[in-house]
Structure 1
Amino acid sequence: MKNIKRFSAITIIGLVLIMFTSCDDSSEKFTISTATAPVLQDLNFSRLELDAVNTSNPAISLNWEEADYGQQAAVNYLIQFSSDDAFTEPVTATSVTGQTSITLSVNEVNSAAGTAGLNPFEWKNVYIRVASTLGTQGNEVVNSNVISLEVYPYFNYVFNDYYLVGNATAPDWNNNNNNPALFRDANDSNKFYYTGYFGAGEFKVLEVKGLWQPQWGTNDTSSIDVNPGGGSDPGTFPNNNNAIATAGYYTFSIDFASKTYSFETFDANGKTSPASLIIQGSSTANVTMTPLSFDGHIWYANGVRLTPGSVEFVTDTSAKWGADTSFSGVATDGGGTIPVPVEDDYDIWFNDLTGRYILIPLNL
């Protein structure tokens, strides 16, 4: 019986190998014919004013005839926007697989139009097409016809802003006392910095002036914690309710993505502030900035009306500090003008120790 069982097992293995070999020999390649492009239907309207209040409402519904690749396969469709009909720099608003229609929200259309280069609060044509592809690698791209729509976008301010509070800072434990803003990294909107004078004491970070939550602090020595509202408040910086022992200049860095922070001494010896500082440029008449009495290296101007254009910071010695990034960045002497993309009232902060600036719109 043992011999019979051994023979049966060997026979089965041989049969399996024959089957695999047979499958390899008779395999067929997946081939496609010249694809027929999807056909995008026209919209039944030509102008669309986007509502900045009801951003989740449907804005447009797109329908198209499916692409034909000559094979039964799931086809991917990219919904693309452009500021020109040649689609020099196409922007993909969204994508679907195996569908021939989609409805985009007000926010999705506004975001795609803005990324494509349309200015806010201005009527301009946006061009739309559907690009079909096969597979996960996006192969065999075929573009549909192009339709156009005149759009009036609103400005979508996508950033969060943060403010200091605590007895180690200028506003003390007052959550609405011209609290200094943290300076956002121009290349990473999750990273913020504040270099300046801190008194002996403690501090926290707020998201909204006048509100105690969301409130950011720490319960250890390197990670951050938050009370978004209704929970327990975290401990204080710089080290879980351990106060700053020696008043002086420090750099506070915080990363809201990695949930980490650092607090290190800063050498401010020999660093002098300008005698005066003004904001000037095509976006505004000259505006005089005020240094904090708590720390003369931190300058501010509140509720400044700026129109689309640019600004720079000008000292009493006519040094002109600027950069090429809107809303926040690091200004240098002779660094150019700071673009202002949208009209609004702004709180403006400038740090003459680091050149960091932030322009915070109040109504967007």
Structure 2
Amino acid sequence: MKNNIYKFLGLFFIIAVAFTACEEDDSVNITEPDPALMLDSPTSSNVVLNFGLPDNPALTVTWTDEVTGSSSYDIQMDIVEDFNNPSTVGTSSTNSFALSTSELNAILNSLTTSSLENVPLFVRVSAGGTLSNVIEFSVTAYPVDGAEITNPSANDSFLLSSSTVDDTAITIDWEDTNTTSTTHEVQLAISGTDFANPVPLGSVTDESSFSATHGDLNAVVLSLGAQADNANDIDIKIVSTSVNTSGATDTRTSESVTVSITPYSAAFPNLYLVGDATTPGWNNNNNNTVVFRNQDAANNYVYTGYFNVGAFKLLETPGQWQPQWGTNDGSTLAVNPGGGSDPGTFNVATAGYYTYNFTTVGEGGSFTVTSYDATSDPIYGSIAIIGTATPNGWDDTNDTNLIQDSNNPHLWYLNNVELTNGGEMLIRADDQWNNVWRYTGSDELYGQANLAGSGDNFPFNAPTGFYDIWFNDLDGSYVIIPN
């Protein structure tokens, strides 16, 4: 009997609980969110802009509009959350808006953010006075403008001296928004040439200052063709180069500053080829081919000719291995002046004609190499010198012939020929007057002759004596070397 009572009471309790629960469910109010203009994206919290992919999508903003019914939305950005000075970066008639890498980067730079630093950026949408919620994300931008030179000032003057070759002559300072992983190269050019043929003074990485000695600055200024012992207007600029992790390169250039530099006269040595890519091979005393000289820039050496597959270096004195010039990185020059470590080689992977351009600066410098197409250049049967400075005078039946290089039909030389002071001469091909190379005003025993039907003879103002002569019929370059 008791058991039945307990069962009845239990059943009554379950029914009561169930009834109460049903009453509570009937009293629940489900509240729908108010209609709103709501940003759904961007969802990424961090955006890194890659200057190597300027056209790639960088940021897409999407939103839901349940209140305005607008057909025009303004997308606004700011670097502070309260949007004290919002920038409208675009307008959309749909519910989305996209920016490319370069577009977003330009916006960031216009907002004066710090380039290459992770900075916060806030975005919202405005439609007819209704504002959406704000979404924050961070962006790493890259700089657009070049560095700004702060020293020297325009029109500063520099007088260089051979008595202080190792002292600092000039210090160039600059400011740059990019402070990391950037190489800054200081370039010089004759003022007014728009840097058509700049020469690097030097470079630094992750620094904002560069200093050069009297000797190094003098060499670069002379290599530009500036006149020694005269004030020359020289333009200076900074070329900043960054490389990102994907290997893309970003290059920016500063505005130039013009200064006055007075260089001093300086003598630079001849340079000679040695190595299996060249005719003398790895013999340092085998009538080694001279590298021709730029008559307007004493430390600029240019050689156009044929190279075998192999390697080569440059020597200052035939028969001696030092001073020896080469490269350790494939773009800059290195030298062992004696007692140090020899530099690496210039390497030729494919046999053919090339133009090598070397500019020495102190114990360094730079070089370039380009292919040369010699297929349309004539190959002459003979090249000779003729004139009162030469052994046989103007006897055009008895020219003083040069010897053709065994490896390069455009290269000619003659050793130990006597030349007479006060005389003059010409260079001609095939014992004829059809192809004659004439004087172009060089004050040195080297230069680039002009292939012309008429013009000046070469004056020979050096002492009477014996000389070696080298001539390149591809570009008219010549060097006369005293024995």
Please state if 1:330 is matched with 2:448: yes
Q: TM-score, normalised by structure 2?
A: 0.41
8 Å Cα contact 1:345/1:361 also seen in 2: yes
Please state if 1:314 is matched with 2:435: no
- State, as a whole percentage, how many aligned pairs show the same letter: 45
Structure 2 equivalent of residue 22 of structure 1: none
Pick aligned residue for 1:200 from 309, 314, 327: 309
Name the CA distance, whole Å, in 1 between partners of 2:357 and 2:267. Answer: 21
Structure 2 equivalent of residue 245 of structure 1: 349
Pick aligned residue for 2:360 from 256, 261, 270: 256
Judge which range, 183-192 or 331-340, deviates more. Answer: 331-340
Change (3 A) 1:245 1:175: same
Judge which range, 267-276 or 169-178, deviates more. Answer: 267-276
Structure 2 equivalent of residue 219 of structure 1: 328
Displacement after TM superposition at 1:264 (Å)? 1.2
8 Å Cα contact 1:162/1:182 also seen in 2: yes
8 Å Cα contact 2:411/2:471 also seen in 1: yes
Displacement after TM superposition at 1:159 (Å)? 4.3
Displacement after TM superposition at 1:157 (Å)? 10
Structure 1 equivalent of residue 374 of structure 2: 268
Name the CA distance, whole Å, in 2 between partners of 1:201 and 1:190. Answer: 26
Name the CA distance, whole Å, in 1 between partners of 2:376 and 2:273. Answer: 26
Please state if 1:291 is matched with 2:400: no
8 Å Cα contact 1:206/1:213 also seen in 2: yes
Residue type matched to 2:426 in 1? E
What secondary structure sits across from 1:171 in the alignment?
Answer: coil
Displacement after TM superposition at 1:292 (Å)? 0.3
Within-5 A mapping of 1:147-186: 158-186=267-295
Name the CA distance, whole Å, in 2 between partners of 1:187 and 1:213. Answer: 27
Highest CA radius of gyration, 1 or 2? 2
8 Å Cα contact 1:169/1:199 also seen in 2: yes
What secondary structure sits across from 1:261 in the alignment?
Answer: strand
What secondary structure sits across from 2:468 in the alignment?
Answer: strand
Name the CA distance, whole Å, in 2 between partners of 1:301 and 1:165. Answer: 19
Residue-pair matches, total: 203
5+ residue gaps in structure 2?
A: 1-228, 230-264, 393-398
Displacement after TM superposition at 1:208 (Å)? 0.3
What per-residue deviation string (whole Å, max 9, x for no partner) do you get for residues 21-60 of structure 1? xxxxxxxxxxxxxxxxxxxxxxxxxxxxxxxxxxxxxxxx
Residue type matched to 1:358 in 2? V
Displacement after TM superposition at 1:272 (Å)? 1.4
Name the CA distance, whole Å, in 2 between partners of 1:223 and 1:310. Answer: 39
8 Å Cα contact 1:166/1:174 also seen in 2: yes
Name the CA distance, whole Å, in 2 between partners of 1:177 and 1:248. Answer: 22
Residue type matched to 1:315 in 2? A
Name the CA distance, whole Å, in 1 between partners of 2:425 and 2:358. Answer: 27
What per-residue deviation string (whole Å, max 9, x for no partner) do you get for residues 273-328 of structure 1? 22111111111124110110100100001111111122211111322212132411
What per-residue deviation string (whole Å, max 9, x for no partner) do you get for residues 319-358 of structure 1? 2212132411111223422221122211111101111111
Residue type matched to 1:340 in 2? F
8 Å Cα contact 1:321/1:336 also seen in 2: no
Name the CA distance, whole Å, in 1 between partners of 2:370 and 2:276. Answer: 18
Name the CA distance, whole Å, in 2 between partners of 1:203 and 1:311. Answer: 33
What per-residue deviation string (whole Å, max 9, x for no partner) do you get for residues 119-139 of structure 1? xxxxxxxxxxxxxxxxxxxxx
8 Å Cα contact 2:332/2:365 also seen in 1: yes
Structure 1 equivalent of residue 414 of structure 2: 301
Q: TM-score, normalised by structure 1?
A: 0.54
8 Å Cα contact 1:224/1:259 also seen in 2: yes
Structure 2 equivalent of residue 37 of structure 1: none
8 Å Cα contact 1:275/1:315 also seen in 2: yes
Within-5 A mapping of 1:60-99: none
Name the CA distance, whole Å, in 2 between partners of 1:329 and 1:321. Answer: 12
Displacement after TM superposition at 1:158 (Å)? 3.9
Name the CA distance, whole Å, in 2 between partners of 1:157 and 1:357. Answer: 20
5+ residue gaps in structure 1?
A: 1-114, 116-155, 238-242
What secondary structure sits across from 1:202 in the alignment?
Answer: strand
8 Å Cα contact 2:307/2:351 also seen in 1: yes
Name the CA distance, whole Å, in 2 between partners of 1:194 and 1:262. Answer: 11
Name the CA distance, whole Å, in 1 between partners of 2:299 and 2:305. Answer: 20
What secondary structure sits across from 1:256 in the alignment?
Answer: strand
8 Å Cα contact 1:250/1:266 also seen in 2: yes
8 Å Cα contact 1:183/1:358 also seen in 2: yes
Change (3 A) 1:314 1:267: same
Greater relative CO, 1 or 2 (CA 8 Å, sep 6+): 1
Structure 2 equivalent of residue 355 of structure 1: 476
Residue type matched to 1:270 in 2? S
Name the CA distance, whole Å, in 2 between partners of 1:338 and 1:273. Answer: 23
